[in-house]
Homo-oligomer: A and B are copies of this chain.
């Protein structure tokens, strides 16, 4: 059987109507008399007609897809966000193109080019430092862009974010309160705004405290489980006298890897070293030692982002908004000596 792809003209012919009428049946059925409508619908079914979206969007000017660019699709934090986006998008008959930038400017750039060529309705992006020009370019072409997990720099754009400064402060305040004096910030690359701000928040908490506290930083190239593990190996190898008594991790993947390496090296969490993660992904609670973590409203982030984007595309008097959610520290065993 040959791949038969009938077009709207053939449907029209088969049903004995004009092309315009078929289009009307498809797009504004109420403009068509019931009897003709049925005839056309029967023809569509009979011929197995499927509308060609390229042609439709060529005419319409825009496609029916949303672009979502994330740093790391393997990170459950981002899949949760993606779910939120998808929920809203599907609800409005839109598809989502998920792109993975892997914290690589080149990749991000080529993804954005592709999305631009596709004339997507809009783009939701967790931008890497320095991708502002590309984003500006998209905007100039009439594609709205909403920043997520990153506060907008100006009021001229939409963003959804979570207060990372506060999150960092919450984590460190907790560690200070539980008596730690040598804390390590296990960081991702500092060009990520999230990382910077979580660190900044941590520093602020230290400065606000009356008790003295050493806050060191160990940087990893990519914040995932594997790098967390090797950081853990290095930390475990430190002499107990200089080793940190608590580690605040830039995300939960690092924290999980760290936890695994420390345990493997025979160190007790939280007795020897306490750990606080970030994101509170589902796996944090299921970890070897249930992980304290700064919770972010993940799906909510995605939903709100998608809603802002849709509003910007459809609402003529859209007003740019910078939405910020508050994080919440969830204390579990990994940082709670009492409980363990």
Residues on A facing B (Cβ under 8 Å): 1, 3-5, 48, 50-58, 63, 65, 73-74, 76, 79-80, 82-83, 86, 90, 95-100, 107, 110-111, 113-119, 137, 139-142, 225, 256-257, 259-260, 282-283, 285-290
Contacts and interface: CB of A to CB of B under 8 A. Distances in A.
A286 B285 contact: no
Given A86-B100, A257-B286, 6 more contacts: A3-B141, A3-B142, A4-B141, A95-B111, A96-B97, A288-B288
B100 A48 contact: no
A19 to B, nearest CB: 16
A5 B142 contact: yes
B48 A137 contact: yes
Given A3-B142, A74-B76, A283-B256, A55 B58 contact: yes
Number of copies of this chain that the complex holds:
2
A119 B100 CA distance: 23
A289 B288 contact: yes
A282 B97 contact: no
Contacts of A113: 50
Contact of A95 (B73, B114, B285): B114
Nearest to A224: B282
A168 to B, nearest CB: 24
Contacts of A82: 73, 98
Given A140-B3, A225-B282, A53 B117 contact: yes
A170 to B, nearest CB: 24
Nearest to A139: B3
A79 B73 contact: yes
Contacts of A283: 225, 256, 283, 286
A57 B117 CA distance: 11
